[in-house]
Chain A
């Protein structure tokens, strides 16, 4: 009556199903949250370092969510292609826009009194 179920139930082989793995990722995410809040109170030399630290921690957390909770790490090439292009264009949007509007790039900036 309905479509046949495959052995893997719709997932590529090598799928991480272990609950222990997920709990581990959960704890890592909580730890990352505490860490980023704690790091934000530390006065490094300049704001740039705070920004860099926060973004690195956020990226690690994001990687954990995407790779394990969203199972990206066990997907095949097709999804990577789609997301890879997305990442490139996203970087282009952010990078080129910021470059175009940064004070060094503009011909002249009018100061409004």
Chain B
């Protein structure tokens, strides 16, 4: 007689990680437990800590750049002499040379996007939470998971090493446009491309793992429409990574060939470098690089935001004690965003001479994709209506995520229209737009997620007071840093200028003074100083977070139960921290993920795996 329901194999109470029946009681030792562990929770924490380290480093690069922008040529206090000692003539007298500024700019972008936010938002959180939330013992391919982390580390090391080679790190922006990227006389571009290949491979393997896990390892009763939205968001993100990254990998291989084998994939006929005809075959297309890059580049931004939306959803549901409004809308919107994100990429290329028909096509798809994003935000906002909001630190960050991401998203609209983008492209307006989405947007959601899931992994709460200090400081100073950039951008200040636009300022170009057509006003230039000090305070305000994080691991307030937030999802229905294979036996799911304040129940939440009465 066939069984109608999947039956998980039952699991033993105290397991070791490695699945050999005869080794039930062996101690894996330090290396297998903490460094070479196939356990998704360990890998998630490894990714989390590594990516936070990269984020700090990328932030630091930005501080050095902002000093240079605000005070061109002035030696950097404290770190200037160190830079000069390590990097030599690239940092004359402790100030940034223009080439060094460019390389910091390129690496800040690369590190923040590929080594910090994506590994944290997508890989770390997925690893930590997905198997728990779907009731699985681990990821579908634990050893592949471990290999993903190792490839990520290798890629990161290659990127970091590039700072110290002659010629310095990559200097052609995080977008690495040809022919500049090929013609810059530094091997840093080669390191960048090789690093990217490792990072992309790592991401692809993770994506395969997560998709297979969500499809195959859902616990009995966990149907698709009972999945927490976090899982849906990461599932769609995985598809974006799976299908959008390979063209960039192909393009990276081709740009590597251009650099190392002197091919002309992206080098046009008649290319001249330094006044001389370049000794290449020509016949290539610089635009081809841009198309292949942005084919990833656009889905990439949804890779940055979707996990954040997923995290925000879990925290909002839990801390409003209400079901999320519009679960189905959220799911279909996430799927729509995923699908449409592949069809909008050339809105990054409006200024490349494309014809009207092509521009209109991409403009239309770009406008359409804003709709599901708004739907998601609206569902979250409506969820707040009539709820009992618990204002703890994760909830504060999740709440702030909504207007911050909203501003970032809305300021994207003039960029999506060809006609207004012609004026705003490559200005500080763009910088403000995307930083709003990622910095007080995604990163706030990531902070929220760290505060929220910290108790599950450590059994202790992070300190609430310092969490609030971290929150308010970050919120205020993120806005101090990025809000002025909208004004600067609309006035025409271009990005990636090592002197912060001083050469284009009215002070240099005219005797008249403040507002002069054709020159950046003194007001706009002075905003650089505001931004610099705002960024410094923003950095200082992260220190309580860092201390709080590490201190609370051993000394935080102990949780009073396995489910300190009284949440409904499966990740909170297991031991703290979860053992290897997560659940003593497979959970059986009976209901959806957000059954909060259901009438007729004595508790204001009903876990997904609680048997019906």
Co-assembled chains A and B: yes
The interface residues of chain A lying within 8 Å CB-to-CB of B346 are 96, 100
The interface residues of chain B lying within 8 Å CB-to-CB of A101 are 285, 287-288, 291
Residue of B nearest to A99 (CB): B358
In the complex, how many angstroms separate the beta carbon of A24 from the nearest chain B beta carbon? 33
Judge whether B354 and A107 touch: CB under 8 Å. yes
A32-40, A47-55, A60-68, A84-92: which lies at the B interface? A84-92
Is B273 positioned at the interface, with any CB of A under 8 Å from its CB?
Answer: no
In the complex, how many angstroms separate the beta carbon of B24 from the nearest chain A beta carbon? 14
What are 7 inter-chain pairs, A to B, with CB distance below 8 A? A85-B243, A85-B339, A96-B361, A100-B354, A100-B358, A105-B355, A105-B358
The interface residues of chain B lying within 8 Å CB-to-CB of A92 are 342-343
Is B268 positioned at the interface, with any CB of A under 8 Å from its CB?
Answer: yes
Is A30 positioned at the interface, with any CB of B under 8 Å from its CB?
Answer: no
In the complex, how many angstroms separate the beta carbon of A108 from the nearest chain B beta carbon? 7
The interface residues of chain A lying within 8 Å CB-to-CB of B291 are 97, 100-101
The interface residues of chain B lying within 8 Å CB-to-CB of A105 are 354-355, 357-358
Bound CA–CA A85/B342 (angstroms): 11
Is B386 positioned at the interface, with any CB of A under 8 Å from its CB?
Answer: no
Question: Quick one: CB contact mask for A100-113 with B, threshold 8 Å, 1 for yes?
Answer: 11001111100011
**A contact residues, range:** 20 to 34
Bound CA–CA A78/B218 (angstroms): 15
The interface residues of chain A lying within 8 Å CB-to-CB of B343 are 92, 96
Is B295 positioned at the interface, with any CB of A under 8 Å from its CB?
Answer: yes
Determine which of A78, A85, A106, A113 lies in contact with B355 in the assembled complex, contact meaning CB atoms within 8 Å: A106
Determine which of A86, A106, A112, A113 lies in contact with B243 in the assembled complex, contact meaning CB atoms within 8 Å: A86
Determine which of B295, B339, B354 lies in contact with A93 in the assembled complex, contact meaning CB atoms within 8 Å: B295
Judge whether B243 and A89 touch: CB under 8 Å. yes
The interface residues of chain A lying within 8 Å CB-to-CB of B361 are 96
In the complex, how many angstroms separate the beta carbon of B419 from the nearest chain A beta carbon? 14
The interface residues of chain A lying within 8 Å CB-to-CB of B339 are 85
Question: Quick one: CB contact mask for B340-362 with A, threshold 8 Å, 1 for yes?
Answer: 00110010010001110110010
The interface residues of chain B lying within 8 Å CB-to-CB of A100 are 287, 291, 346, 349, 354, 358
Determine which of A85, A104, A113 lies in contact with B239 in the assembled complex, contact meaning CB atoms within 8 Å: A85
Is B584 positioned at the interface, with any CB of A under 8 Å from its CB?
Answer: no
Given contacts A99-B358, A105-B357, 9 further A-B contacts (CB under 8 A): A85-B243, A93-B247, A96-B361, A97-B292, A97-B295, A100-B291, A100-B358, A101-B285, A112-B268
Q: Which of B284-310 contact A (CB under 8 A)?
A: 285, 287-288, 291-292, 295
Bound CA–CA A89/B346 (angstroms): 15
Bound CA–CA A105/B352 (angstroms): 11
Is B602 positioned at the interface, with any CB of A under 8 Å from its CB?
Answer: no
Nearest 6 Cβ contacts at the A-B interface: A112-B270, A105-B355, A97-B291, A107-B353, A89-B342, A100-B358
Is A23 positioned at the interface, with any CB of B under 8 Å from its CB?
Answer: no
Residue of A nearest to B343 (CB): A92
In the complex, how many angstroms separate the beta carbon of A15 from the nearest chain B beta carbon? 19
Judge whether B353 and A106 touch: CB under 8 Å. yes
Is B215 positioned at the interface, with any CB of A under 8 Å from its CB?
Answer: yes
